[in-house]
């Protein structure tokens, strides 16, 4: 079994644990014993929050909805270019306040901070929210 040290993404405490991997599949977690916050313990989300990783319904690739109404698999480059082009078009026609951003509680505080900076500087809007209700 392989163990990979990571930081829990369920809240801002920053607890560390090892992700337990067998045959390229996440099978559990082991708390880091000497972490100053978690001290070898985890909350229920930390212990059980890994089940989504191997879920069969989890998207593995970006999807773009085409004119025919169907989603088609795309590369990350295609998906980012499509998103940027679409957002630029909406903002140029309707202004920055015509778009909004919803960030994630699974991101770190630093990632959420960067999302705020992107939203305000690039998209020219303060329409950003965050859901911490997991």
Longest Cα–Cα distance of the chain, Å, equals: 54
Tokens 């630093």 identify what position?
110
Per residue in 24-73, pLDDT (tens digit) is: 999 999 999 999 988 999 999 889 888 888 889 999 999 999 999 999 99
What are the DSSP calls for 9-37, one per residue? -SSTT--EEEEEEETTEEEEEEE-TT-TT
Calculated CA dihedral for residues 62, 119, 7, 35, nearest 10 degrees: 180
* Other Cβ atoms within 10 Å of 47 Cβ, number: 14
Whether pLDDT at 20 is above 90: yes
Query: Tell me, what CATH number does 38's domain have?
Result: 2.20.25.90
pLDDT band at 10 (very low <50, low <70, confident <90, very high): confident
Question: Is 100 found in the same domain as 89?
Answer: no
The domain tally of the chain equals 3
Whether 53 maps to a domain, the answer reads: no
Q: pLDDT band for position 133 (50/70/90)?
A: low
Percent of the chain with pLDDT over 70: 98
Do 8 and 44 lie in a common domain? yes
Q: What pLDDT does residue 13 have?
A: 81
Q: In terms of residue numbers, what domain contains 80?
A: 59-94
Rounded mean pLDDT of 76-99? Answer: 96
The answer to whether the CB of 8 falls within 8 A of the CB of 17 is yes
116 close to 125: Cβ distance less than 8 angstroms: no
**Tokens 């909004």 correspond to what residue?**
100
Average pLDDT over residues 102-111: 82
Arithmetic mean of pLDDT, 73-100: 96
Return d(Cα 14, Cα 17) in angstroms, integer.
10
Residues 82 and 111 in one domain: no
Identify the pLDDT of residue 126.
94
> What is the pLDDT averaged over residues 62-87?
96
Q: Are residues 89 and 106 in the same domain?
A: no
Question: Is 9 contained in some domain?
Answer: yes
Counting Cα atoms < 13 Å in the Cβ hemisphere of 43 gives: 10
**What pairs with residue 16 in β-bridges?**
7
Residue 95 scores a pLDDT above 50? yes
């Amino acid at each position: 079994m392989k163990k990979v040290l990571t930081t829990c993404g369920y809240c801002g405490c920053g607890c560390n644990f090892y992700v337990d991997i067998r045959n390229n599949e996440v099978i559990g977690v082991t708390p880091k014993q000497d972490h100053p916050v978690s001290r070898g313990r985890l909350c229920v989300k930390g212990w059980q929050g890994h089940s989504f990783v191997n879920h069969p319904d989890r998207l593995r690739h970006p999807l773009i909805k085409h004119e025919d109404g169907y989603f088609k698999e795309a590369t990350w480059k295609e998906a980012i270019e499509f998103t940027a082009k679409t957002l630029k078009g909406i903002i140029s026609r309707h202004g920055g306040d015509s778009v909004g951003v919803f960030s994630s509680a699974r991101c770190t505080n630093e990632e959420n901070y960067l999302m705020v900076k992107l939203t305000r500087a690039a998209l020219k809007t303060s329409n950003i929210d965050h859901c911490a209700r997991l």
